[in-house]
Amino acid sequence: MGGHDIALVAGAGLVVVSPGIAPDAPVLRALAERGVRWISEPEFAVRFYAGQLIAVTGTNGKTTTTLLIAHLLTQAGIRAAAGGNVGGGLAPAASELALLDEPPDWYVLEMSSFQLAGVESFRPDIGVVTNLSPDHLDRYATVAEYYADKVRLFDNADDASRWVLPAGDGDVAELAGDARGRRFFFGGDSSSATHAFTQDGMLLVRLDGTVEPLLHRDEIPLIGRHNVDNALAAALVARLAGAEPVRIADGLRSARPLAHRLEPVADYGGVLWVNDSKATNVAATKSALASLDRPVVILLGGKDKGEPFAPLGPALSGRARAVLAYGAVGPRIQRELRDFVPVELMASDFVAVVARAASLAQAGDVVLLSPACSSYDMFDSYAHRGRRFSELATELARETT
């Protein structure tokens, strides 16, 4: 339309804003100066939903947990549809779900902080927080501002609300505060306050005091210890939504890794290549490292999101055979990690970075793309970055076999 006609927009009955537009964008500043309030696209969409709502937020694991919940419900014979912030072609936008010819029993939405910032009446029947850690500091001035948008998940809680939260997580507990509704906890130990947990390798759910075994963690075809927590959260939600334990267990056995999330993409010469391009913050990369029990050659870099990288140091020390820093933030990664582990600074040539990783990796190693940064200095998206990594790994496999 050639630009923003502020008077035209301000005169609209309802303004719905894409989450990609930052609150300090000129058009939104101009609307705020006129006292015009706007809402996010999911806030608009859910006004047309005919079923019950599950909303999943958190810093890491949102997409896996969202899609896993929908998968478990579907496998249990309960009609469910996933969407929201999932992206990557894995699920539609929230508003597309409102157009389904046959409304599901449960809508399962992944909600980003950007989307939660624009809610008014949004109220999930079951709300999930996977975890919390600093992120998006290129958009938020402080971590507190980031968490302030996350907390809006609880704005419209009532006595019927149910919240699925990580056990023993003080940040999440503070986020939930005294919001109305009943709390259910996953992970941690098997104390009576935990409702989904592991014991002797078994995943168990406990509602109303009855312990229900699901399956052994080795039966879940997802890489990484963090995916056990994702599975516990999803299983607990599915149980609250009416799925039977045996059907939940069957659903977990049939789950498949999502693209760009600890996704094995090649295995040759004794070296496993893993695409974790969705790890766009330090906490996600730390989780990936904790999930692997082999030496790693790790690719770190991309666009600077403002996070410190030093917290990665202890996780890399003694674990990383090599750390390759690349992209716009490469020099800062090298400065902040060199006291923990040698860091090789690479030019912004991704083909050369992957080739260097291949030359350094030894049999028994993992070459891990878990960048701890967004991708927008060199790629269109984390998915574009992950696809390119996977293509290069596959090409190298063909050349050596």
Q: What is the CATH number of the domain that holds 363?
A: 3.90.190.20
Q: Final residue of a domain: which of 217, 235, 253?
A: 253
In a domain, 144, yes or no: yes
What is the reported pLDDT for 89? 72
In a domain, 332, yes or no: yes
Q: What angle do CA 156, 48, 151 make, to 5 degrees?
A: 25
Where is pLDDT greater, at 253 or 209? Answer: 253
What average pLDDT does the chain have? 93
| Band of residue 169 on the pLDDT scale cut at 50, 70, 90 | very high
What is the reported pLDDT for 168? 92
Where is pLDDT greater, at 262 or 165? Answer: 165
| Band of residue 133 on the pLDDT scale cut at 50, 70, 90 | confident
Q: What is the pLDDT of residues 91-102, one digit of tens each?
A: 899 999 999 999
In a domain, 140, yes or no: yes
In a domain, 130, yes or no: yes
pTM of structure: 0.79
- Over residues 331-349, mean pLDDT: 95
Token representation of residue 117: 């910032």
Q: Final residue of a domain: which of 253, 272, 300?
A: 253
Say yes or no: 269 and 304 in one domain.
Answer: yes
Instruction: Report the distance separating Cα 151 and Cα 373, nearest Å.
Output: 24
Total domains in the chain come to 2
In a domain, 13, yes or no: no
Say yes or no: 194 and 162 in one domain.
Answer: yes
Output the CA–CA distances (angstroms, integers) from residue 391 to 324, 351, 384, in the order listed: 19, 10, 11
Say yes or no: 206 and 309 in one domain.
Answer: no
Q: What is the pLDDT of residues 1-51, one digit of tens each?
A: 788 899 999 999 999 998 888 888 899 999 999 999 999 999 999 999 999
What is the reported pLDDT for 232? 97
Instruction: Report the distance separating Cα 55 and Cα 94, nearest Å.
Output: 11
In a domain, 11, yes or no: no
Say yes or no: 202 and 328 in one domain.
Answer: no
Say yes or no: 66 and 159 in one domain.
Answer: yes
Q: What is the CATH number of the domain that holds 99?
A: 3.40.1190.10
Say yes or no: 155 and 303 in one domain.
Answer: no
Q: Containing domain of residue 218, as a range?
A: 40-253
Say yes or no: 233 and 374 in one domain.
Answer: no
Say yes or no: 176 and 303 in one domain.
Answer: no
Say yes or no: 168 and 233 in one domain.
Answer: yes
Say yes or no: 205 and 290 in one domain.
Answer: no
In a domain, 16, yes or no: no
DSSP state of 257: P
Q: Final residue of a domain: which of 234, 253, 272?
A: 253
Instruction: Report the distance separating Cα 111 and Cα 42, nearest Å.
Output: 8
Angle, helix 350-360 to helix 382-400, in steps of 10 degrees: 50
Say yes or no: 285 and 230 in one domain.
Answer: no
| Band of residue 88 on the pLDDT scale cut at 50, 70, 90 | low
Say yes or no: 83 and 101 in one domain.
Answer: yes
Q: What is the pLDDT of residues 379-397, one digit of tens each?
A: 999 999 999 999 999 999 8
Residue numbers annotated as active site? 62, 85, 136
In a domain, 73, yes or no: yes
DSSP H helix total and E strand total for the chain: 15, 17
